[in-house]
Amino acid sequence: MTNYDTENIFAKILRDEIPCTKVYEDEHALAFEDINPQAPRHILVIPKGPYVSLDDFTAAASTDEIAGFMRAVGETARRLNLANPGYRILANIGQDGMQEVPHLHVHILGGRPLGPMLKSDP
């Protein structure tokens, strides 16, 4: 496991030390509203295990954890009625990905046409 910081904000949300607006939970994952939404629907899905990023997760997590997490992402979107007309998932990884919180999270964005994937150069 890569240098996981047990005091990161999503670890605290998983331990119920910080509140969140939960939209889905199962044995593998928790999904909750992003505090600073970038679209009409902006949900974060996090695995329950201590994984820093998608890189860490795909290298170290079990097949069950990976399958369970991906199912939870899809299930969350279905429960929010986003599958049709569609939505976007996004995961920022590391420095160039501009990941802010060092616990793997997949963003689910939707609720309107989202436009091109990358608008412009930084």
Phi, psi of 69 (to 5 degrees): -65, -45
Question: Contacts from 13-21 at CB under 8 Å and sequence distance 24+?
Answer: 13/46, 14/46, 14/48, 14/103
Q: Which range touches ligand 5GP (CB under 6 A), out of 32-40, 49-57, 60-68, 74-82?
A: 32-40
**Catalytic-role residue among 28, 103, 105, 107:** 105
Interatomic CA distance for residues 13 and 16, integer angstroms: 5
Active-site residue flag, 42: no
Q: What number of other Cβ atoms are within 10 A of residue 15's Cβ?
A: 9
Nearest distance, CB of residue 65 and ligand 5GP, angstroms: 20
Instruction: Tell me whether residue 12 or residue 66 sits nearer to ligand 5GP (CB atom).
Output: 12
Q: Judged by CB under 6 A, does residue 101 bind ligand 5GP?
A: yes
Q: Rule CB under 6 A: which of 39-98 touch ligand 5GP?
A: 44, 92, 98
Residues that bind ligand 5GP (CB under 6 A): 9, 18, 20, 32-36, 44, 92, 98-101
